Amino acid sequence: MRLFWLESKRLFLSLSFLIYSVLVCGFIVLNVNPLVNRSLATMPTASHYDAIYASDFQTLKNGVLSQLTDEYKENTYTTYPMGFAKTTSLKSDKRNAMQEQITVLRSASNRRELNHAVKRVDQLLGGHSGYTTANIVTLARRQMNAREAKQDYRLIVTRDKISGAFARVFADIAGLIVGILPTVIVIAFCYADRRSRALATVQSKFISSGRRIITQYFASLMVLLLPVLAVAMYFTLRVVGLYPHQAIDLLAFMKATFIWVLPTLMISSAVGFMTYQLFGNFMGFALQIGWWLITTMIGSRRVDGNYGWLLMPRHNSLHNAAYFYDHLNELLVNRASYAVLALIMIGVAILIAQLRKGGLRLALSSHH
């Protein structure tokens, strides 16, 4: 425990942590504040109904047909290999096959037939398109009707208790910044270890490399989460002040921090430890930038409700609450999976450290 507090103090007092805190707090506050200033005290009027992703068959079918027909006419389709947008055109044979699939889509009478036709469209485009059973919901985005707006507002007031709606946006924004910055902070932390010869000091006290990495990892999680928790507390107080006569979930931002944001932080921190053991330099930051860019590009295709297997789940909307609760289990599985993956990565980092330590001992013994 003493080693844990020593490592936590060392990171907490570092210049890199000060810079990290300013960037994290500034990024979250600047991006979340505008939405917190939007009032949820009353149900929006018809002219201000938010957009939602519809799940009914007819809206899905119309949405798919509308976009696919437009792309077919222009013979320009957008696909997303590696998460980046790319335009694709079809040769005459595949273009004819696409026309046939449009006819099939028009005659589809149920969700099973629609999914089968959509899968064929995706195959004709070489995959990685928006025409998949998981993504066609993005083509069914429309403004809420009066009934849906009433249900959405009821969920925000009774289930979210106002603060939950803001907490989703907070988690969305916080995830973006902690998905990238902790990696470079951790690598700098490890690099400072080597430069200050702290590693030799720790090893001289017979502390195993595994225990040292585990201790540093959990110390990094605690310290690097502090700015996020501080902003969470700030927004909790703001929401309480803005809605003095409403029943507010005082723990909404904290729950969002630990359940939604923390697994992303666990991954970005684990990447730092693992890649530093592997490369001994800042190469891991470049790898994390690549991962971050890919998941950001994929997530940007549907920012107001996109969970799946994204490293940084997206819900940049105060509304679409029904969609969130319908897919809550999907989000929870996502977050648990990334937490487990992060721990596996730390296990790999420990294994690499032990192998390198064993190799060093072997080299020293052979030298003598």
* Contact in structure between 198 and 219 (CB atoms under 8 Å): no
Asked if pLDDT for residue 363 goes beyond 80, the answer is no
Residues 6+ apart with CB under 8 A from 43: 149, 150, 153
What is the tens place of the pLDDT at every residue in 288-347?
Answer: 999 999 888 888 877 888 888 899 999 998 988 988 998 999 999 999 999 999 999 999
Q: List CB contacts of 288: < 8 A, sequence separation 6 or more.
A: 180, 183, 184, 268, 271, 272, 275
Q: What is the residue whose two structure tokens read 């998981």? A: 134
pLDDT at 83: 58
CA distance 276 to 281: 6
SS (H, E, C) 293-353: HHHHHHHHHHCCCECCCCCCCECCCCCCHHHHHHCHHHHHHHHHHHHHHHHHHHHHHHHHH
Residues of the chain with pLDDT > 90: what percent? 58
Higher pLDDT, 306 or 209: 306
CA 13 and chain centroid, separation: 28
Question: Is 173 in contact with 316 (CB distance < 8 Å)?
Answer: yes
Residue 23: partners with Cβ closer than 8 Å, 6 or more residues away: 177, 181
pLDDT confidence of residue 175: 97
Each residue's pLDDT tens digit, 244-289: 989 999 999 999 999 999 999 999 999 999 999 999 889 999 999 9
Q: What is the DSSP letter of 42?
A: S
Task: Tell me which residue of 231, 230, 229, 248 sits closest to 239, measured CA to CA.
Answer: 248
CB 104 within 8 A of CB 16: no
Both tokens of 319, joined, read 């509304």
Q: Which of 288, 317, 289 is nearest to 302 (CA)?
A: 317
**Structure confidence at residue 15 as a pLDDT band (50, 70, 90):** very high
For residue 365, is pLDDT > 60? Answer: no
pLDDT tens for 96-108 read: 999 999 999 999 9
The answer to whether the pTM exceeds 0.75 is yes
Residues 353, 354, 359, 361, CA torsion sign: positive
Ranges 90-104, 125-139, 278-292, 350-364: which has the least confidence:
350-364
